[in-house]
Chains A and B, each alone.
Chain A
Amino acid sequence: MSNWTRACGTDDIDNEDVIPVAIDGHDYAVYRSPDDDYFATDGHCTHEAFLLAEGLVMDNIIECPKHNGRFDYTTGEGKGAPICEDLRTYPVKVEGGSVYIDLG
């Protein structure tokens, strides 16, 4: 079942950047790629659960701000140590200047 929920406005995120979004007590990270596509993942790193949203986004990679663990935020794939577990991703759609996440 889909459960589309508004996360933020499209302009709330700079190009090639990420913001934190909390919905019903759950933390998400919402990304805007260099091509202005939007993506969403769980908000916490799979290494030691620090929040990802203060990390550096470059191309399709988010680097965890704590110990620089890397993920491809478009797929959630962990890119090497210290990451041992991939990051959960969520479907995203853009409508009328808003970014929606499918919380499933």
Chain B
Amino acid sequence: MAATGNVERIVVVGTGECGARVARELRERGFAGAITMIGDEPHTTYERPPLSKSALISDEISPVEVLPVARLAEFDVELMSGTAVESVDRDRMLAVLSDGGEVPYDRLLLATGARARTLPIAGGEFALTLRTIDDARALRAQLGPGRSVTVIGAGLIGLEVAASARQLGCDVTVLEVAPRALGRALPAEMADVLVKRHAEEGVEVLCGVVPTGISRLDGGLAVGVEGFDQPITADVVIAGIGVTPNVELAQAAGLRCENGIAVNDRLRTDDPAIFAAGDCCSFPHPLYGGRRIRLESWRNAHDQAVVAAANMLDGDEQHAAVPWFWSDQYDVGLQHAGLADEAGSAVVRDSGNGSQIRFALALDGRLVAASGVGTGTSTAKDIRVAEMLIAAGNRPDPEVLADASASLKELIKS
């Protein structure tokens, strides 16, 4: 284990997925000093993914804890919830709190995450957004049989909310400005599979549609749309148009920000005592030519937590994990590994029963991405293998990839 003699106090800003995981990781690595987690939400650590899926369709939204309270106690982690860090005094190495308190640190982790973007149109404030458990509860209270719901944004969160609202008996329409759904997340062919499924469930996804404003109308809401004679009326309007990384704290402390708090591949900022991880940071990805990216995914928050914890304890680990995310809509599970935009060609593996995987190969034959859709977790095993192949820079035989009867697991062994 690396020498950590001079690291006695670690302060984590943000008690989301990443912050909580860091605390656990530090203890699992044998760190015996003080760990203080400071979060502005008035809750213990909880997971966000269920908020648009299983939790949203339940009657009562109860939190899935990232680190159960008993574990926090067992790990001797001090959790200060409902407390914002207002500024960081880098000279004196202090986190300054909203209540004026000061918490000294030897290492500081910024795991401040991201916040939902609000609609930049007239009446945009009428649209609900979904990031926190409080947002989810407010949204849940508006959903039910026969309620009409307009979702603005056909990204992952928008489509998950659309599916959940539909499962609760709402009439749902999704509006997307771009020419197609899930443009940022997935290849068009995979997005089509999901959009088709929405259509089967009676959810219309209208692309190339530009909302111009939202106003109150007869106790409900009216969404004006460019080129439409009539506004689209709805009881509830939800905006799922992406997130903005919470960089203000870092920026005010004079740390470099480039589409997120800029860190190196060790997740360290330009200040050697300060690290950033999770949705809030941008980092160079060694598997993708060192290109600076920012990811907004659960797994990235966990993977980076592990690396940040190691390096805060004076380790020297590179963050090189393959980007990976999942989504659930109705009974369809989507899993995606890698980044597709380097791709030269695509190979499809169709396992029947609606399960299919699309592999993206770079011009030199390296596997760079794989997305799978199917019922539940039917493509999970193959996507996991694909992830390992991507990490290894493997050039798999396209014929094996396409042959649903051939075991992909054999490829890792060969």
Contacts and interface: CB of A to CB of B under 8 A. Distances in A.
A68 B299 contact: yes
B139 to A, nearest CB: 20
B22 to A, nearest CB: 10
Contacts of B326: 66-67
B302 A54 contact: no
B269 to A, nearest CB: 24
Contacts of A50: 376-377
B48 interface: no
A51 interface: yes
Contacts of A81: 21, 24-25, 66, 302, 305
Contacts of A76: none
B50 interface: yes
Main secondary structure of the interface of B (DSSP, over half): helix
Contacts of A80: 28
A84 B21 CA distance: 11
Interface size class of A (residues with CB under 8 A): 10 to 19
A65 B24 contact: no
Contacts of B381: 54-56, 65
B31 interface: no
Interface string B13-37: 0000000010011001000000000
Contacts of B25: 81
Contacts of A82: 47, 66, 302
Contacts of A48: 50, 54, 64
Interface string A53-94: 011100000010111100000000000111010000000000
21 contacts: A50-B377, A51-B377, A54-B377, A54-B378, A54-B380, A54-B381, A55-B377, A55-B380, A56-B380, A56-B409, A63-B384, A65-B377, A66-B326, A67-B298, A67-B326, A68-B324, A81-B25, A81-B66, A82-B66, A82-B302, A84-B68
Interface of A: 48, 50-51, 54-56, 63, 65-68, 80-82, 84
